[in-house]
Structure 1
Amino acid sequence: MQFLIDFCSVDSIEKSLVFPLLNCSKHEASILREIVALYMRGENEIDIQTFLEQKYYAKGFEILPYLKEISHLIKLGWLATQDRFSQERCESVLELRNAVISVSPNLLKLLEHGRLFNSDIKDTIYNNSLEYLQDEWKRLHLMRQYNRIQSVLNTNLSQSCDNYINNTLANIINTNATKNTKKIKIQQYFKKHHLNYHEKLIFISLTQAQYNGEFGLSLKEIVSLGKNEEEKIILQNLLASNAKLLKSGIITCFESFGDFSFMEQEFCIPQHIFNNLMCDKSSQNANLEDEVAKSEIFDIITPKKGLDSVILQDSVREYFDILLQHLNPKVHKLLHKWEIKEHADIDSKILLYGASGTGKTSSAYGLAKDLGQKILYLDCSKVLSMYVGESEKNVRRIFDEYHAITMATKEKPILLLDEADQLLGSRNDIAGSTSRMYHQMQNIFLEQIEKFCGILIATTNLVDSLDSAFSRRFHYKICFNMPDIAMREKIWLLHFPKHADFKDKKERIAKELSKFNLSGGQIKIITSNTCYKVATRKDLSFSLDDFIAEVEKEQNGAFGDSKKMGFKQ
């Protein structure tokens, strides 16, 4: 409390430690000292008229010069006031006659610390990136506070605040970061990419937003970190599309459509980069199931049956056999050796397309089983949102979360994007108010699959309206047609209940049922519905008529080619 004691006890007020920061006259500082003395004696609210009469014997017109000085102290932010009758702030000098005043929080901070801002950032050793960032976030908080009030501060006080935030605290943080002989991840990242002061400022502000669960920050929010117009322009230029931060993929830009201004476009750090910097290396990698359990969009699937359990056309099965050979790790190592590929990792994008219920998802499961891989499954209907901008964010989120999970677990499961119609449809077919949203969403998807490293499988019911731009991004494209009569017979036999009684031979029933033009998905549903019906009656034997009854229900309830499987009648 040396500043408070010095201010109240020094003989010449202009020699007090805080006087250069007050930006007021000697007499105004003396008035301030008298008010502080009353505050220390327990008088939180001081009646101006009574104060002037008792301290300066001023009455009537004699109080006018004092009111002007008190008004100036209020404008400087050292005193707070309100009219005792209306409970509103006084807007004119004469209104102060009937007002009460109190010491402002800013003056109390100044008298306690000798500065307007104070922080608990102290000398320590950072053990990880989070500890370092938490101190940087505290400094950012003070920086934002300073920027808001800078225009009303006098030169001395402004320089004092700036020096404390950008020199004193910054030096403490930098010193703490160098004390650890084992370099902190984020410091290594800054050094690797040669980030300057303002680039670091942008990056650190984004880490805070994303750590707090936000998507990122708008251009307006980032630019507000600049303490003057010149610095704001610097920050804005660093976020240009051709600037290093975006060009190198250190941060990404999400451009919003609709009634959004240029300053509302948002920026974020790719999730896999963010997670890698925030997670310290440990002797044991995270468990894949545990990491996926944290996700709101992914499910983990461990396939139990291979492609031999899926009834496929001969040409499709041959395609999958070739695909299995191509996905052999030895093949990719050889391609890397021949310098055909930049790396030896398996890198393949596979598109399975065709009518609903023709075995696309089952084939993806079978392929994963034969490759000895787990599946990170996403129902793409979760990507779409009714809110403008959310769908585009969710497309990024798919790949960001995938990278984050693989980074934490050191495993690379197959990424299966099931029912990806809305991501793969022709952009020329989209019209109306949502067209720009779809275009942006699909552009982001194109960009992400272009950069994706691993095995990605997308399934879609689209056949004729696939966008050619997407088609070019997939290494393998496999078309699934409706099963022919021979395939349908096999599918019926595959789905018939095991250990159940039939009133006729299974093969004969399957042969009769195969005459109905149904997809594999429909056959599975019909069999399931028939089993439910038979299980609830006394006669537990299955007949051809039992199945035909459910076939007719399925056909009568069909909505055309776009019918979704799974509805029970």
Structure 2
Amino acid sequence: MKYIVDFLKNDVESSEIYTLLDVGINEAKVLKFLTQSYIDGISSNSVYTVLGAVFGEDGYEYLKHLDEIKNLLDSGYISKNVNIFKTENVKNLKGSKLSLLHAEVELSELFLSILENGIVDTKLPNITEYSDHLEYLQDQFLLVEFYQKRFNSSSLENQAKIDAKISELTDTIRERVKLSKIPITVEQIFKANSLDEREKVIFLALLKEEYSGEYDSLRDTNMLVGMVSRSDIERIKNRALLEEGSNLLTSGLVDYDEVLGTLGGITKSYFINEEILQSIMHPQKNDKKSKKLLVESMVKDSEIFELIEPQTDINDVVLNPKIKEVLDSILKQLDKKVIAKLNNWGIKTRRGIDAKIIFYGPAGTGKTMSAISLAKSLKKQVISFDCSKILSKYVGESEQNVRKIFDTYKMICETSKTQPVLLLNEADQFLSSRLESGANSVEKMHNQMQNIFLEQIENFQGVLIATTNFLQSLDSAFSRRFDFKIEFKKPNYDERLAIWRRVMPESISFESSFSIEELAKFELSGAQIVLVLKNTALKVAVRDDEIFTLKDFEEEIKRELISSFGDDKKVGLL
């Protein structure tokens, strides 16, 4: 019991216990009073009594020291003595320091153990390699606790002590990661998204909440920002870390819900996105690479789909301004403010983008390329189905095939925990008007197939894009079920010029009189321009001079226009 005697007999600052604690001098004085009271047979005291005895009552001096009580509660060195005959709101107690004034407090088991043994159970880990990701997270969560203690402490002296531990533990974690042979998902996330130290702490604090199952203390803007700030000026500056356009939000790592606060105001409650959280909690099962491999395997086994990995986003495609505007509005569903408004109006009730779209227009105008590029902008893979394969000569099989498309898609989404874009190419027979007579078996089959397709479209969640060359025969029932119907026309002169400039390689050499503007005068679709460029390049590649001339291009253009047999000839994208 030498530590107790030493603590009570000597000045606070010269006692051995003081050197072990992460507290300031005033907080230590409170602990000394409570220790003396405990030895004298009084286990608990009101906060008013403690502060009055330690700091005096003149001029209400004791009110200035409520922070010390709050810090000691947060540090776990004292605990609130619960009165079973009095109902108290714990959350309000946490938010109001004044409500502490008449609370009963006592020394905690943790502090009594320190008094008895002289050991503080916050020993930093040894520098050894991590054996698993849980050991790594244990260190990081301890680091978050230090940041919490610093935020809750009003003593500059105590903050300096905690800062030293934060620095030491941060270095220890860094060295342990270097020694580790196992991949650590959280570190990979930090690196992939270029998070700075403040962003890492905020992310780890939210992750700690997910593991602990709590939903209040570390999800609030003020708490998260306060943990990584050392002054009021820094707090103001660091609020940008959680605002729209911040790295944590735009990278998709963190999201938020807008909730009604206890005083009627709207507050933001932050959380880690489910896909990211699952990849951390189950690093072997849920990482992105594993998910992609799983989708690839399931698509291959399905034997009905093709998996497409988009290489270009919507900004890489030359589009009519009106089409670009519509596609941008679809992408706005990723905007948190838009989501919040739609949720508030009751229009959108689930997370994730929902859009059912028809791209229609002549072949070669970029419908499929635009669909794939939109998926890239949405950060999604594409599962494509060729609708010409749907018909079967066997009775009832075509209808079953329709169900199989959507059932298989749902199974892939549920199993892989992803939601690729579903692309239905050449969906003319799905979208055309139903046959009114239905007199023979073929017409009945066609109508039944379309009825099933209508039902599946009605219940579809996610992004579905159907492409067709014809819209004149579109059944009105389908028109109502698609959110967007976007027409793709053959490009005008300015658009053709932009396409030529986009696809023309920078490394090729032209004759001095070459004019790309002359090429744009020929009325070609985007797919035809790509085809002409490829055929011209093949022709020039067999020559020694390797110089591209206007004549080379014009010859291939004339050949393409002749072979297309006019506007009735359909030219598909490469």
Pairwise TM-score range, normalised by the shorter structure: 0.3 to 0.5
For normalisation by structure 1, the TM-score amounts to 0.47
| Higher Cα Rg, which structure | 1
For normalisation by structure 2, the TM-score amounts to 0.46
